[in-house]
Amino acid sequence: MKSKMWDEQTIHAFQTTLLDWYHQNKRNLPWRADTNPYKVWISEIMLQQTRVDTVIDYYYRFMEEFPTVKSLAEANEEKLLKVWEGLGYYSRARNLKVAATQIQEDFNGEFPQTVEGIRSLKGIGPYTAGAIASISFGLPEPAIDGNVMRVISRLFGVEEDIAKASTYKIFDQILRAIISYENPGDMNQALMEVGATVSTPAAKECPEWLKPFCYACAHDEHDKFPVKSKKAKPKDVYYLAGVIENKEHEHLLIQRPENGLLAKMWHYPLEEVEPRKYQEFKQLWQKEDSKQLSLDLVAEDTVPELFSGWPVVWQKRHFGEVTHVFSHLKWHILIFYGRTQTEFLPEHGKWLDEQSFSDLVFPKVQQKIVQQFNKTHKVE
């Protein structure tokens, strides 16, 4: 850290300046309407890895369906995931239900009011615990997220890599030294607001009111902070997706395993292939002439590697490609369409008409496949 820790006079001046700015400029967000710990908790979990403007509608819908800890603890998981559908990182929603059950069983239905109690809940880490403790219970506990790290690194010239877990202690020490004991919740939210709206990744300097406190501005090094090593590139994974229709015009959907990525969610059948094979399908199985659109193809003429053994006649072309990025994986999916006259049902499968799709929980990647297929299919 390049800058020395501030003296008491500087800390007090910073607190006053920051809180004055926040009270005049803070965004009007629904979860700021009150300090109810349940509402703060839900909003903070939703905001992880997700933009504020995306979260707002989800937050309203969630609160309508599950207005209390008790209603969340008793929620049907499929209904819960349906409300969460499209937000991604579905383990967050499952953890919410587990934590709500903990509150019901271990805390007599009352939200725990200590940092230790809050941290004991499933899915709650240091940041979320700090946010709830400070905003809802007035405890001088830091809430350190990426926005706050960026702001503090510029104010104090923190040179350590914020991607390393060991660096967290530096920010924790700084924030415990400068946090307002009279108004810790607003101060935490003010720091987040600064990072989200004025001291953004692209900002070239601080606003005038913040400059007197900023090491990076004083040394013309604003763009050097925060120091962060490059994130590992997501691994590319290649799939063929089968949109399979039976004689009742129902589509085959497969449910994923109970654990792991997209656990228990539904999607069209997927078959993983090597990158080379994927590119062959992509290049060679394009629409060429009217014969390619015919479904009157003999079995030998169908895609041999695609779900081999299934009694499906495939169109000899693909319906486009979709990609979807997870935190550690990038899925590339090439879409094929086929029909079957034979009654068969793979393990964990279900036949469903498109009008009933809304009854199941679809991950974002499945929604993309449906949109791409319908767009291409209707064009023709």
Which residues are annotated as catalytic? 44
Q: What are phi and psi of 50, to 5 degrees?
A: -140, 140
Residue matched to tokens 């063929």: 240
117, 118, 116, 74: which is closest to 98 by C-alpha? 74
- Residue 215 is encoded by which pair of tokens? 């090491």
- How far apart, in Å, are the Cα atoms of 223 and each of 108, 204, 228? 49, 6, 12
Half-sphere exposure of 36 (CA within 13 A, CB side): 12
Q: Which residues, in sequence order, are bridge partners of residue 253?
A: 350
Pairing of the two strands 235-245 and 329-339:
parallel
How many C-beta atoms surround the C-beta of residue 182 within 10 A? Answer: 11
Q: Which two tokens stand for residue 265?
A: 């969610």
